[in-house]
A and B are shown apart, each in its own frame.
Chain A
Amino acid sequence: MSRNTVLRASSALALCIVAASATAQDTITIATVNNGDMIRMQGLTEVFNEAHPDITVEWVTLEENVLRQNVTTDIAQGGGQYDVITIGTYEVPIWGERGWLLSLNDLGDDYNIDDLLPAIRGGLTVDGNLYASPFYGESSMVMYRTDLMEAAGLEMPDAPSWEFIREAAIAMTDREAGVYGVCLRGKPGWGENMAFLTAMSNSFGARWFDEDWTPQFDSEAWSDTLTFYLDLLEQAGPPGAANNGFNENLALFQQGNCGMWIDATVAASFVTNPDDSEVADSIGFALAPDNGLGPRGNWLWAWSLAVPASSDAPEAAMTFIEWATGPGYAEIVADREGWANVPPGTRTSLYENPAYLEAAPFAQMTLDSILSADPTSPTVDPVPYTGVQFVAIPEFAGLATEVGQIFSSALAGQMSAEDALAQAQDLATEEMDAAGY
């Protein structure tokens, strides 16, 4: 490494001498997910450059899984390929603790750190240090078709129960017409079906681990969760549900194939946008379902921007983050694309802005959903971990993806719920033993 540093220092020195009179030009490489809000941010690079002409921005926009693979490997190896990375609430505490991220406590006054929603900010803070700045925050909620609900003779309560969801889903299903009562995530992955199932299991009173870190897939509550989920999708789900993730379900819902969809609140602006959605004018929102046990089946997540410790242009990187996640960004987007397209769920001020509340009929439901999720006490019984739809330990991503593959196989009809849970229990026990718990 030292040779690298020397090399870097000497080349920097050489640059300084050559360009002594010219202004220093920083180049930052930003790795981000190919989600709509991020692509919009990429499109606004010019606006950033008007304010900061001395910073050149290079974009690496990749599909989520490819991005995660590349960013994780790079940061674990200290490769220094990226100056700004897009990561979530799961990675931030783990990577922050490892010392792989730079603290963002010293962003300028304009950034107004106290404006961040406390629940979101808390998830990105380790020992008082903010290690990532939220770009958009989300919980999950029920999005449903008001026309189909009416045709079924039902009325969606603001806070439905799982039993009501089942009843409504079956009533709305009309396979001949290509209408399926409920679309849920089934695609294997810790951020796909396991995000949904873990959040759902909380409302059934299940938990991943007890206080001694013993896996709990052999519990009654998990059995209830998985059985309910499999039954629901079998009776009222779309074909091939085991391969549907967020994006697939979004496409189905926008085309009018789903009666209800329980997923990220951030989808609300997509499904109500008449340019993309055929059903934009008949959509209602409700809180994620519960079972009367207290917790609801909604999660808490924030796609956030962070600066790796290995970055060679940390100051320019922070300047960018301040711009993209500061209060001013919302106005830039609102000016160009309307208030409904502003990245939601990060700042209190947005939910006090009358222009936003008027343009975004889903605003209040989004805020209520975010506020009702509690990462420190996600389920009925006490747990030794934090995280609503994840467990904030390094082993979780690998383990949950494998468990997700098992549950997904059960959804595809390749095994029964009992077998799936038994396999998941064995796998989790083995993995946790090996990890030294």
Chain B
Amino acid sequence: MARAMPTQRRVAYTALAWIIALLIFFPILWTILTSFKTEAVAIADPPVFLNFEWTLENYRIVQERSDYMRYLWNSIAIALGSTALGLIIAVPAAWSMAFVPGKRTKDILLWMLSTKMLPAVGVLYPIRLILIELGLLDTKFALIFILTLINLPIIVWMLYTYFREIPGEILEAARMDGAGLRAEILYVLTPMAIPGIASTVLLNIILAWNEAFWTLTLTTVNAAPLTAFIASYSSPEGLFYAKLSAASTMAIAPILIMGWFSQKQLVRGLTFGAVK
């Protein structure tokens, strides 16, 4: 929308947008700032904004108590693993739904979404029993598998809506030229689908990273990701705001940084068919 706009109005809009953006971002900023304070400064009245003595003490204490790298590695492995597995299963499904739609396609799609309605709490008991039987409790494999299944409907739907926007004529043309099914996918579709896939990947990583029910109930040590890490810092005895902030910053920093760097890609495909 490249319309000309009076400077005055532009200034007003800019100011308003910045104020709102800073308000929305403030809780995160405040958490990061607090993580560099001492416990006493963290609860100072009136609150201290920037003029305090910065310290890394909280990060040292947190690192000493829990091995951050292990939790981080588990989070990364689970998020990437479930995304990769999900993609392998979802891309073919979404492709066939988008380009070879049958009578039932829409029903299947909606049914898939409805599986997400299964309340996790209600099926915790059976799932945990199954994992115990299989000896898979507290393994990254089990968590990857479960998170894949949880997010699969969203991935399929997101890819499906994206694929549908690829004009059918291009495929027709490719077929006229005698391209086989494989060539059709490899040389025609894939390049066009990459932005949608990239966006799906990013969304799935975020969802898997932040999943806080299964990751907490199905792990103890070997597969415990950052959600479990944070659970050991919520309301301990004594003053804890600064330590909680440090642990929180450590838990969200990786995904926040990834999200910021890739936000253009994320946004591009994040339409769910909302735009024609």
Q: How many Å lie between the Cα of A79 and that of B235 in the bound state?
A: 27
CB–CB A63/B235 < 8 A: yes
Contact of B220 among A42, A70, A246 (CB under 8 A): A70
Q: Is the CB of A63 within 8 A of B238?
A: no
Q: With A and B bound together, what is the CA distance between A229 and B66 in angstroms?
A: 40
Q: Are A4 and B133 in contact (CB under 8 A)?
A: yes
Bound Cα distance from A71 to B208, whole angstroms = 24
Compute how far the CA of A276 lies from the CA of B65 in the bound complex, rounded to whole angstroms: 19
Give the chain A neighbours of B221 by CB distance below 8 A.
29, 58, 60
Which residues of B227-271 have CB atoms within 8 Å of chain A's CB atoms?
Answer: 228, 231-240
A29, A31, A251: residue with the most chain B Cβ atoms closer than 10 Å: A251
- The distance from the CB of A110 to the nearest CB of chain B, in whole angstroms, is 29
How large, as a class, is the contact surface on chain B?
20 to 34
> How far is B198's CA from A320's CA once the two chains are assembled, in angstroms?
49
- Determine whether A12 belongs to the interface, using a CB cutoff of 8 Å to chain B: no
Knowing A78-B132, A81-B137, A247-B236 touch, does A29 contact B220 (C-beta < 8 A)?
yes
Minimal beta-carbon separation of B20 from chain A (angstroms) = 29
Of the candidates B133, B220, B236, which one forms a contact with A39 in the assembled complex, judged by CB atoms under 8 Å apart? B236
Q: Which residue of chain A is the closest to B222 with respect to CB atoms?
A: A58
Residue from A39, A62, A73, A247 within 8 A of B128 (CB atoms) = A73
> Is B166's CB within 8 Å of the partner chain A?
no
Give B235's nearest chain A residue, CB to CB: A247
Q: Are A61 and B135 in contact (CB under 8 A)?
A: no
Within B191-224, the residues touching A (CB, 8 Å) are 216-217, 220-221, 224
Chain B proximity of A296: nearest CB distance (Å): 25
| Centre residue among A1, A81, A276 by max chain B CB count within 10 A | A81
Known: A4-B135, A73-B124. A34 touches B233 (CB 8 A): yes
A36 near B237 with CB under 8 A, answer yes
Given contacts A66-B216, A69-B217, A70-B216, whether A79 and B238 have CB atoms under 8 Å apart is: no
| Cβ-defined contact, A36 with B238, below 8 A | yes
Interface size of A by Cβ–Cβ distance < 8 Å? Answer: 37
Q: Are B237 and A81 in contact (CB under 8 A)?
A: no
- Interface pair A254/B238, CB less than 8 Å apart: yes
A219-241: CB near B (< 8 Å → 1, else 0) gives 00000000000000000000000
User: For residue A3, which residues in chain B have a CB less than 8 angstroms away from its CB?
Assistant: 133
Q: Give the shortest distance, in Å, between A135 (CB) and chain B (any CB).
A: 15
Per-position binary interface string of chain A over residues 287-309, scored 1 when its CB falls under 8 Å from any chain B CB and 0 otherwise: 00000000000000000000000
Whole-angstrom distance between the Cβ of A191 and the nearest chain B Cβ: 13
Residue in A closest to B66 when the chains form the complex, CB atoms: A61
Question: Could you tell me which residues of chain B, from 106 to 165, have a CB within 8 Å of some CB in chain A?
Answer: 124-125, 128-129, 132-133, 135, 137-138
Asked whether any CB of chain B lies closer than 8 Å to the CB of A250, the reply is: yes
Which A residues are closer than 8 A to B by beta carbons? 1, 3-4, 7, 29, 31, 34-36, 39, 42-43, 58, 60-63, 66, 69-70, 73, 77-82, 245-248, 250-251, 254-255, 270, 276
Q: Jot down 17 A-B pairs with beta carbons below 8 A, ordered by A.
A: A3-B133, A29-B221, A34-B233, A35-B236, A35-B237, A39-B236, A61-B66, A61-B232, A66-B234, A70-B216, A70-B220, A73-B124, A77-B132, A82-B220, A251-B240, A255-B43, A270-B238
A245-B235, A250-B237 known; 7 new pairs, CB 8 Å cut-off, are: A1-B133, A4-B132, A60-B221, A62-B228, A66-B234, A73-B124, A79-B137
